[in-house]
Structure 1
Amino acid sequence: MDNLVKKVKLQWGNPLYSVLGIMIVAFGLQGCEKLYDLPEEQEFLSPNINYPSQIFEPIIGRTSELGAPNTDNSTKPLKFEIVNARYGDGRPVTDIFQLRPTYVWTGEYTGIETSLEEIEAKRKIEERPLFEVQESGKFVLWGASTNELITPRPADSSNLVQDRRYFDLKITNVGGERIIRDFQLIPWRELPYEPNNDINRYTGGVAPDPKDPRNPNKRDYIRPSLTNVIGAESNRNLVTNDDQKDVVVYIRPFEGGNGHNLRFSFWAPDSTAINPAKFNETRWNDLVHGFNRVNTTEYVQYDVAYPIPLTTVATKYTTGGSAKLEFAYSRLGFNNIRTTAYIGLNFKIFREGDWEIIFHFRRELPKFEDE
């Protein structure tokens, strides 16, 4: 065989000999393969395919990708199929496979779209199982899921075997079949927004005060960030923490909108509205990715697409995967020095509808007037 290759190399300068040489080497290699009985390339399905974890604890109502398989060099394509879905006591599981209308992106969201119509043109609604495995082997719980469609873990915080959903995963390719057994799906109930420290994640009710959890007359609140916000009566910096909550936030649905409104309001201690115009340094056009802004003496409102933010793409409206808010106002302080006050909140809203975010000054009004 070595002599054959050498003869071909000697004649390599001649084009005819080059072509003939390549053909001779190819036939020679085939002969060597038969001579030495070398195995043909086989499809491979590794027995060591695995997932970092087989216990998934997603939050209902959010589109969540779960798990990523280590395929251990198995030949692709691989086919993944959920099989034998059952509760811990053997009852079949069917609720997570209900088909529901689900948003699926067909175009790239950039954050510079100029209308709701432009955003909606980049996604469509498809009927999908609430929980499924994708071609990549990742699992997904779709945002169309609700507490009514999928029962969350018990409100009493128990985690009994009979309440857990189990399933197996069948993986196949041309090389064979493998089943990974005993995945678990233990979903949390819906938490339709973040921050959500004001919600008891087991019951969905009001969360207790972290400093006095056994006192039924106290509760936890969402707290904004405050910079240079001075109290009109005390003339001191307002603060919000576990011990003192001068300003708190409520995120809640409201009635009477068009189904995709987002509204911002500011409340005095008696829950009457503060005119948003007092926040005179706020960049209202860049506050959220919203349209058709409406300013009133009680609120500022936008038309928006949900969820907020729409994707994980970083835009001028987001930070660290959350939408960001910054309200600002300026005033002349002592020595005629102008100071600017800021109120901020990073947030997410997962459920479509009409929502309002209220900043409640519980103890005193902020000082808007000059010294």
Structure 2
Amino acid sequence: MMKILKYNLLLLTALILVSGCRKLLDLPEEKDYLSGKLNYSNKVFEPVLGRTTVMGTLNADNSTLPMQFEIVNARYGDGKPYDDMFKVHKTWVWTSAYTGKETSLEQINAKRKLEDHPMFEIRSSGQFIMWQSSTDELIDPRPADSSNSVQDMRLFDLKVKNSGGEVLLRDFQIRPWRERPYEPSTDINPFTGAVARDPKDPNNPNKRDYILADIGNIIGTPSDLQLISNADQKDVVVYIRPFTGGNGHSLRFKFLDKDEQVIDPAKFNETKWEQLVHGFNMQKTTTYVQYDVAYPIPLVNISTPYAPNGSQASSYIKYSRRGFGGMKTTAYLGLTYNIFKAGDWEIVFHFRRENPKFQDE
């Protein structure tokens, strides 16, 4: 024990002497290392406005952490400066972990708060982030005609520094897409925001593209054939659209037949409505089923019963009927999706060609 104490005392004395000598000799303090090869694997970013998107992978090349980052010289390709992306707006930031087991909106909102952030900024990690607060009204998206002319190109440089020096990384480019408030968004033209045309007949203004439902074992009437939902035969399609008269944070499920008449949700007799979405205060009527929800959907990228793959919610509706021979058949229709913008939204399943057969044989 005495030997250990003597060793520690000698080590402490040596450290004091070295420190004292540095001061006496006026030696410079040790500096961090900043590599001249520091860079990003990709310098062109294409976020969709209205979504929180993290971008950029920094190759620090063994530079000393932490480093300070500053976006500078934001300009269009013709040299004209821009600042719309850097204006401050409120955005949701999590303060504790969302689990998917919360039992009310109050419990969810107690785990997050609204903070002021520039709509586009860089984190201390060197990652860029475009916050959900960004919108088409606040930030000009890329041109609707899909051009990439010099005067529309958004460029910026990045200043990186630590006590070892400073590096300027030049000519990052950001090309924001206009808002698409939900996914899948195959029914939206990403350049204009208008309804997308049918990809199999793009020159026909009277034909459009749709979101396709995932379906199985649904028999149509009067044909008694299984309905199909794919690029060639779109028997069941989905609309994700806002509705009026909600409370500002609601989600509604509706079903339409081929004549666009509402189908009573009660006909989907095998559906576990309480587990369809992470929502509360369910209202089940003869025309829709509605929930109070927190947006975006899903709230975070973790696996939950409502979002098994983590990145998208999954809602499936089921019903059963007796087929020939009395055998029970379970049919389903559903959607894997995101809704990024808060509001009152409805997910509508539309049987376009034939109505589903609910009756037993």
> How much does 1:29 deviate?
9.9
> How much does 1:164 deviate?
1.2
> Deviation string for 1:196-229 (max 9, x for gaps)?
0111101111111111111111111100111100
Cα distance in structure 1, aligned partners of 2:83 and 2:29: 44
Which of these residues, 31, 42, 55, is aligned with residue 31 of structure 2? Answer: 42
Aligned to 2:224: 235
Structure 2, unmatched stretches of 5+, are 22-27
> Deviation string for 1:80-131 (max 9, x for gaps)?
1111111111111110011111111101000000000000000000111000
Aligned to 2:328: 338
Cα distance in structure 1, aligned partners of 2:176 and 2:114: 24
> Does structure 1 residue 287 correspond to structure 2 residue 276?
yes
SS in 2 for 1:363: coil
| Aligned CA distance change for structure 1 residues 227 and 27 (closer, same or farther; 3 Å) | same
Cα distance in structure 2, aligned partners of 1:25 and 1:293: 69
| Aligned CA distance change for structure 1 residues 131 and 16 (closer, same or farther; 3 Å) | same
| Aligned CA distance change for structure 1 residues 261 and 23 (closer, same or farther; 3 Å) | closer
| Aligned CA distance change for structure 1 residues 228 and 31 (closer, same or farther; 3 Å) | same
Aligned to 2:267: 278
| Aligned CA distance change for structure 1 residues 236 and 149 (closer, same or farther; 3 Å) | same
Which protein has the larger Cα radius of gyration, Structure 1 or Structure 2?
A: 1
> How much does 1:17 deviate?
4.8
Cα distance in structure 2, aligned partners of 1:26 and 1:115: 57
| Aligned CA distance change for structure 1 residues 31 and 301 (closer, same or farther; 3 Å) | closer
Aligned to 1:351: 341
- Asked whether the equivalents of residues 42 and 57 of structure 2 are also in contact (C-alpha less than 8 Å), the reply is no
SS in 2 for 1:45: coil
Partner amino acid, structure 2, of 1:222:
I
Which of these residues, 180, 194, 207, is aligned with residue 191 of structure 1? Answer: 180
Cα distance in structure 1, aligned partners of 2:106 and 2:17: 65
> How much does 1:21 deviate?
5.0
Which of these residues, 261, 266, 269, is aligned with residue 250 of structure 2? Answer: 261
> How much does 1:142 deviate?
0.4
| Aligned CA distance change for structure 1 residues 29 and 319 (closer, same or farther; 3 Å) | closer
Which of these residues, 161, 173, 179, is aligned with residue 162 of structure 2? Answer: 173
> Deviation string for 1:137-180 (max 9, x for gaps)?
10000001100100110000101121011111111111111110
Which of these residues, 76, 87, 96, is aligned with residue 98 of structure 1? Answer: 87
SS in 1 for 2:106: helix
> Does structure 1 residue 367 correspond to structure 2 residue 320?
no
Aligned to 1:317: 306
TM-score of the pair, normalised by structure 2: 0.94
SS in 2 for 1:140: strand
Cα distance in structure 2, aligned partners of 1:19 and 1:87: 65
Report runs of 4+ in structure 1 exceeding 3 Å deviation.
15-32, 39-42
> Does structure 1 residue 78 correspond to structure 2 residue 74?
no
TM-score of the pair, normalised by structure 1: 0.91
| Aligned CA distance change for structure 1 residues 262 and 21 (closer, same or farther; 3 Å) | closer
Which of these residues, 113, 118, 128, is aligned with residue 107 of structure 2? Answer: 118
Cα distance in structure 2, aligned partners of 1:274 and 1:72: 61
| Aligned CA distance change for structure 1 residues 28 and 151 (closer, same or farther; 3 Å) | closer
The equivalences for 1:197-212 within 5 A come to 197-212=186-201
Aligned length: 355
Cα distance in structure 1, aligned partners of 2:339 and 2:203: 29
